[in-house]
Chains A and B, each alone.
Chain A
Amino acid sequence: MYEAVIGLEVHLQLATRTKAFCGCSTEFGKAPNSQACQVCLGFPGTLPVLNRTALDLAIKVGLALNCNIQEQTKFDRKNYFYPDLPKNYQISQYDLPLARNGFLDIYLEDGSRRIGIRRVHLEEDAGKLIHRQDKSLVDFNRAGIPLLEIVSEPDINSPEEAYEYLGELKKILEYLEVSDCDMEKGSLRCDANISLRQKGTNGLGVKSELKNMNSFKAVKDALGFEITRQSGALAAGEALVQETRLWDEKKGETFSMRTKEEAQDYRYFPEPDLPLFVIDKDKIASIKSTIPALPREMMQRLEEYGLSRYESGVLVNFKQDAEFAGRCFDIYPSENKKTLINFLIGPLLSEANSRGCMMSELGITPEGLIELLSLLDEGKISNLVAKAVLSEMIGTKKPAAEIIAKKNLTQISDAAELEGIIKDVIKENQKSADDFRAGKSNALMFLVGQVMKKSGGKANPKAVQEILREKLKE
Chain B
Amino acid sequence: MELNTLTAHELLDLIKEGSATSQAVLNCLYNRITDIDAKLNAYVRLGATPPEQAAVHSGPLCGIPVSLKDNICTDGLATECCSRILSGFRPPYDATVVSKLKAAGALIVGTKTNMDEFAFGSSTENSLFGATRNPWDLERVPGGSSGGSAAAVAADEAIIALGSDTGGSIRQPASFCGVVGMKPTYGRVSRFGLIAFASSLDQIGPIAKDVKDAALLMGVISGYDPGDSTSVDVAVPDYARALGDDIKGMKIGMPREYFVEGIDPEVKKIVEDSIAKLRELGADCREVSLPHTEYAVPVYYIIATAEASSNLARFDGVQYGLRISDKGGSGGLLDMYCRTRGNGFGQEAKRRIILGTFVLSHGYYDAYYLRALKVRTLIKQDFDRVFEDFDCILTPTSPTAAFSLGEKAEDPLKMYLSDIYTISANLAGIPAISVPCGFAKSGLPVGLQLLARPFAEETLFRAAYAYEQNTPWHKMKPKIGSGAQG
Contacts and interface: CB of A to CB of B under 8 A. Distances in A.
Contacts of B91: 38, 43-45
Interface in B192-232: 192-196, 198-200, 226-230
Given A45-B73, A275-B229, 14 more contacts: A41-B319, A44-B86, A44-B314, A45-B194, A45-B195, A83-B316, A86-B314, A89-B310, A135-B329, A138-B318, A265-B362, A269-B310, A272-B198, A273-B230
B229 A87 contact: no
B329 to A, nearest CB: 8
A128 to B, nearest CB: 14
Contacts of A275: 229-230
Interface string A28-64: 0000000000100111111111100000000000000
Contacts of B93: 38, 43, 45-46
B293 to A, nearest CB: 23
Interface string B225-262: 01111100000000000000000000000000000000
A107 interface: no
Contacts of A86: 314, 318-319
Contact of A83 (B191, B199, B318, B329): B318
Contact of B196 (A45, A135, A268, A269): A45
B451 interface: no
A45 B319 contact: no
B92 interface: yes
A452 B306 CA distance: 86
A269 B229 contact: no
A45 B68 CA distance: 14
B316 A88 contact: yes
A462 B369 CA distance: 86
Given A45-B95, A45-B196, A81-B337, A267 B310 contact: yes
Contacts of B195: 44-45
Contacts of B71: 45
Given A45-B192, A49-B227, A273 B199 contact: yes
Q: Closest 10 A-B residue pairs measured CB to CB?
A: A88-B313, A272-B199, A267-B360, A272-B200, A44-B195, A45-B193, A45-B73, A265-B362, A45-B195, A87-B314
A89 B229 contact: no
B314 A38 contact: no
B28 to A, nearest CB: 31
A274 interface: yes
A81 B340 CA distance: 14
A269 B359 CA distance: 11
Contacts of A45: 71-73, 79, 91, 93, 95, 192-196
Interface of A is mostly: loop
A47 B225 CA distance: 11
A89 B313 contact: yes
B307 interface: yes
B337 to A, nearest CB: 6
Interface of B: 71-73, 79, 81, 86, 89, 91-93, 95, 191-196, 198-200, 226-230, 306-307, 309-310, 313-316, 318-320, 329, 333, 337, 357, 360-362, 365, 369
A181 B91 CA distance: 37
Contacts of B307: 269, 272
Contact of A273 (B229, B357, B365): B229
Nearest to A267: B360
7 contacts: A38-B91, A38-B93, A44-B86, A44-B89, A45-B71, A269-B360, A272-B230
Given A77-B310, A81-B313, A273-B199, A48 B361 contact: no
A49 B369 contact: no
B143 to A, nearest CB: 23
Interface residues of A, number: 30
B229 A274 contact: yes
A268 B93 CA distance: 29
A125 B437 CA distance: 53
A79 interface: yes
A265 B194 contact: no
Contacts of B314: 42, 44, 86-88
Nearest to B192: A47
Q: A48, A83, A272 — which one has the most chain B CB atoms within 10 A of its CB?
A: A272
A13 B64 CA distance: 49
Contact of A38 (B79, B92, B191, B357): B92
A214 B360 CA distance: 34
B242 to A, nearest CB: 29
A306 to B, nearest CB: 55
B200 to A, nearest CB: 4
Interface string A328-349: 0000000000000000000000
B370 to A, nearest CB: 9
Contacts of B306: 269
Nearest to B313: A88
Interface in A121-145: 135-136, 138
Nearest to B93: A38
Given A44-B314, A77-B310, A273-B229, A83 B86 contact: no
Contacts of B319: 41-43, 86
A49 B227 CA distance: 6
A86 B317 CA distance: 11
Contact of A79 (B92, B192, B316, B360): B360
Contacts of B369: 269
A135 B329 CA distance: 9
Nearest to B193: A45
Nearest to B86: A44
Contact of A44 (B73, B199, B316, B360): B73
Nearest to A263: B362
Contacts of B73: 44-45
Nearest to A88: B313
B229 to A, nearest CB: 5
A257 B222 CA distance: 51
